[in-house]
Amino acid sequence: MEILSSDQVSRAAKMLQTGELIAFPTETVYGLGASAYDGTAVAKIYAAKGRPSFNPLIVHIPTLSAARDLGSFSDRMARIAEAFWPGPLSLVVPLRSQQISSLVTAGLNTIALRVPAQPLAQALLREVDIPLAAPSANISGRLSPTRAEHVVDGLDGRIDAVLDGGPCRVGLESTIVTEHDGNILCLRVGGLPIHEIERVLGTEITVADSDTSNTPTSPGQLLSHYAPQTELRLNAQEPDEDELFLGFGEVDHGPHTLSGSGNLIEAASRLFDALHELDAMAEDTGIARIAVAPIPDHGLGLAINDRLRRAARPV
Ligand code: TXA
Ligand code: MG
């Protein structure tokens, strides 16, 4: 991977515009960035991190006004944004943009948005002029990187470049906040202290940390997962008469395949769109079930199968 210095922002931006993966500094941690419009590039983020499941990613933009193009802000959420952006805060709001890859939101109708303050991150976001999806730039399960050297240690050979902005000032991931049923909730404690947000709002915030409630046993899990209305039958070799079929590789049973060539990156980038599409089709035609072909259980196939199992689980 290339190590780019702070005067190479325009090279980093060009690489991102052509679908490459570039780690970049923010004041919290280094992010692993890709165009949020490009499903294939976003799928490569998951492949590089070796993440065994698709969690929705935070989308980075340079200003609140750019954020408003992607999500809807209530008066209170706008007030929080105005007080703390740019800064170590992410806001989960209803999704507005049709252009964001559904892999970024993991099929949800909400989006996590963040305006980072770090000057190089700001310069990059302005130059690239595309929203950047960026989780922390580490192998899944390892420590978050707060220096370019950490990124190189973890991801060398797996990503295209890192933009070196020196050490991160905050060193902790952003605080994530959302509004739910008229209450302001904190989904992840992080770099911005909650009491500062409470001071601006004049009300208390409930902490419901989604990062610690990700185990299926914990109650009140707030990060809901996208699930189709229609029942799914997994590892199906072929559809029964009353089923739609979602294939993998070349398909003899109907027109739908996650990837005609059996490419897992393409399959990942199409997963949520395909489920949404077939779900709508099933509803229109009164078909009760979607049969899904077996997906190889390695590489991105692990994350695809994880999501399919969650989607297939009766609610
Ligand atoms: O400081 C940070 O936030 C860093 C830097 C790079 O900006 N990014 C980061 O991203 O920590 P990541 O992908 O590691 O964390 C994303 C978190 C996950 O816990 C995910 O569940 C939550 O954001 N999230 C994203 N979209 C969401 C949504 N629509 N609803 C609820 N939670 C969401
Ligand atoms: Mg992380």
Q: Sheet with 289-292: list strands edge to edge.
A: 231-233, 289-292, 243-246
* pLDDT (mean) for 97-105: 97
Average pLDDT over residues 129-157: 95
Q: Of 28, 45, 54, 90, which is best to mutate to test ligand 1, by the most ligand atoms within 8 angstroms of its C-beta?
A: 90
* Residue 47 backbone zone (phi > 0: left; psi -120 to 50: alpha; other: beta): alpha
Three-state SS letters, 280-315: HHHHHHCCCEEEECCCCCCCHHHHHHHHHHHHHCCC
Which segment of 136-145, 168-177, 203-212, 226-235 scores lowest on mean pLDDT? 203-212
Q: CB within 8 A of 127, min separation 6: which ones? A: 9, 10, 12, 13
User: CB neighbours (10 Å) of residue 216?
Assistant: 8
Nearest CA to ligand 1 atom 20: 56
The pLDDT tens digits for 230-279 are 999 999 999 999 999 999 999 887 789 999 999 999 999 999 999 999 99
Q: Quote the DSSP letter at residue 110.
A: E
- C-alpha 182 to ligand 1 mean position (Å): 22
Q: What is the pLDDT of residues 151-170, one digit of tens each?
A: 999 999 999 999 999 999 99
CB 257 within 8 A of CB 249: yes
Complete edge-to-edge strand list for the sheet that includes strand 58-60: 2-4, 161-163, 22-24, 31-35, 132-133, 58-60, 110-114, 89-94, 175-180, 183-188, 206-207
- With the most atoms of ligand 1 within 8 angstroms of its CB, the residue from 28, 176, 310 to mutate is 176
* Residues 6+ positions from 314 with CB-CB distance below 8 Å: 231
Bridge-based pairing of strands 231-233 and 22-24 is: unpaired
Atom number, ligand 1, closest to the C-alpha of residue 60: 7
Residue 90 Cβ inside 6 Å of ligand 1? The answer reads yes
> Looking at residue 220, what DSSP letter applies?
T
- Look at residue 313 and tell me whether its pLDDT is greater than 90: no
pLDDT over 70 (residue 217) = no
Cα separation values, 149 from 24, 152, 204, 267, Å: 12, 5, 39, 32
Q: Which of 29, 51, 101, 136 to mutate to test the pocket of ligand 1 (most atoms within 8 A of CB)?
A: 136
Q: How far is CA 187 from CA 2, 76, 143, 191, in A?
A: 34, 17, 20, 13
